[in-house]
Amino acid sequence: MTDEELKAEVTAWLAANWRGAPPRTERFGRDPRAEWLAKVRDAGWAAPRWPAQWYGRGLSDAQARIVENCFAEAGAPGTGQDRSNLWANTALAHASETFKPQIVPKLLAGEVGMCLLYSEPGAGSDLAAIRTRADRVEGGWRVTGQKVWTSGAHIADYGMLIARTDWSAPKHKGISFFFMPMRQKGVDVRPLRQITDESHFNEVFIDDAFIPEENLLGNLGGGWGVLQTALAYERSVMGDAARGARSGAKEAHGDAALLELAREAGKLSDPVVRQDVAQVIAWRMLNSLNTRRAKAELGQGTSSSIMSLGKLAMSRILHEEGRVRTELLGPESLLQGPDHPRAEDANFLSLNAYFTSIGGGTDQIQRNIIGERVLDLPREPEVDRDVAFSTVIAGR
């Protein structure tokens, strides 16, 4: 098919079908646009790079982008999930032949709510130190343990879970990866109160919960590898996204907003403020330019080292923007609450910046990753890397 033919087909299909859909409000949980998404999926537009067998059309990246552009022009969601749908990509790559046909179509249509069950109180930066156990039983596994920093667990149907299935293997080698059904006795979800006084995350207490045989992804004991692809995926998405103010509209115009705040505060003529505001906006702009260049270089087949820098860059931007907003507001920043939205924003940003600098791997871990994977600097000696995990924990 030529590019023109493709474009014509998508445009025609959209003209025939797209009538608008309710907006998506949450990243997690069931998608209110499910009906529309199912239509997109069935038409083969949800993941056009995927093979036809899996609802795709086997398009090249270039042609898939044509589809995406058509959808974007129409304001219609649902395509490009072969790039953006973490759950579906993971399932497609690693789910068992029994489970894959059950779950993939639902994921593409947003019909099932999902959450991540990775971190534990004792395994944050050192994710491979998880102690949640999955023990083999008739027809599947029984799971017991505790997970933290889970988003949307209270409305999820499945959790992508890592649990230890082999305690005699070294820490990275005894882990398996599952789609665990969340709606069962034995899975207890409690909200986690954040420093911002919000609760976007949960703790999940798992007590003898059951996972059917076919819900294992990848090989038994091969969970660390599955996890790595899922994490790399998440990181590349994360650097891109600004995570500052509460309102999505504000995020989109981050630069103008800071300038505007300085003007409102009557401080835009202050030379010190001008330097500070300029620097924050510059960092934000540089991060966008880096990301854009990285994508272009990937497009040209050049390897790009920039992709992994986005999250680290964003962390500096957010913390510094919190500082500058506070500087701009002066005494007003002492306040909070709905009557003081500018103060609320400055304070929220100052605290929520840790979501980026700690969440999904701290800045420190991120620098390790960049140093080792991008700059090829040697790893630190890891004392517990090659030791049976049961021996590691016995030694504490």
| Window 361 to 390, contacts with its own copies (CB under 8 A) | 381, 383
Q: How far is the CB of 155 from its own copies (least distance, A)?
A: 42
Tell me the C-alpha distance between 315 and 354, whole Å. Answer: 8
Tell me the C-alpha distance between 376 and 388, whole Å. Answer: 27
Using DSSP, state whether 55 is helix, strand or coil: coil
For the four alpha carbons of 209, 213, 218 and 220, in that order, the dihedral sign comes to positive
Q: How far is the CB of 35 from its own copies (least distance, A)?
A: 57
Find which of another protein, its own copies, none residue 121 binds, CB within 5 to 8 Å per kind.
another protein
Nearest CA among 36, 152, 160, 185 for reference residue 99: 160
| Residues counted in the chain | 396
Tell me the C-alpha distance between 47 and 73, whole Å. Answer: 18
Tell me the C-alpha distance between 244 and 287, whole Å. Answer: 14
Site residues (CB under 8 A) for another protein, limited to 194-223: 194-195, 197
Tell me the C-alpha distance between 100 and 90, whole Å. Answer: 10
Q: Does residue number 130 form part of the binding site for another protein (CB under 8 A)?
A: no
Q: Does residue number 335 form part of the binding site for another protein (CB under 8 A)?
A: yes
Tell me the C-alpha distance between 340 and 239, whole Å. Answer: 30
Find which of another protein, its own copies, none residue 161 binds, CB within 5 to 8 Å per kind.
none
Residue 21 main-chain phi, psi, to 5 deg: -155, 160
Find which of another protein, its own copies, none residue 232 binds, CB within 5 to 8 Å per kind.
none
Using the structure block, give the residue that is written with the tokens 């964003």. Answer: 314
Single out the residue of 92, 175, 343, 349 in contact with another protein (rule: CB under 8 A): 343
Amino acid at 245: A
Find which of its own copies, another protein, none residue 278 binds, CB within 5 to 8 Å per kind.
another protein
Alpha carbon distances (Å) from 333 to 84, 242, 262, 279, 380? 37, 22, 14, 21, 42
Site residues (CB under 8 A) for another protein, limited to 56-95: none
Q: Cβ closer to its own copies: 213 or 270?
A: 270
Single out the residue of 340, 341, 342, 390 in contact with another protein (rule: CB under 8 A): 340
Q: Does residue number 42 form part of the binding site for another protein (CB under 8 A)?
A: no
Identify the DSSP state of 368: H
Single out the residue of 275, 300, 302, 303 in contact with its own copies (rule: CB under 8 A): 275
Q: Does residue number 388 form part of the binding site for another protein (CB under 8 A)?
A: no
Q: Does residue number 395 form part of the binding site for its own copies (CB under 8 A)?
A: no
Q: How far is the CB of 234 from another protein (least distance, A)?
A: 16
Q: How far is the CB of 8 from another protein (least distance, A)?
A: 29
Find which of another protein, its own copies, none residue 214 binds, CB within 5 to 8 Å per kind.
none
Binding residues for its own copies, rule CB under 8 A, total: 6
Burial 355-381 (b: 16+ CB within 10 A, else e): bbbbbbbbbeebebbbeeeeeeeeeee
Q: How far is the CB of 121 from another protein (least distance, A)?
A: 8
Q: Does residue number 248 form part of the binding site for its own copies (CB under 8 A)?
A: no
Q: Does residue number 272 form part of the binding site for its own copies (CB under 8 A)?
A: yes
Nearest CA among 196, 242, 192, 193 for reference residue 337: 196
Q: How far is the CB of 101 from another protein (least distance, A)?
A: 36
Please give the residue ranges that form the binding site for its own copies (CB under 8 A): 270-272, 275, 381, 383
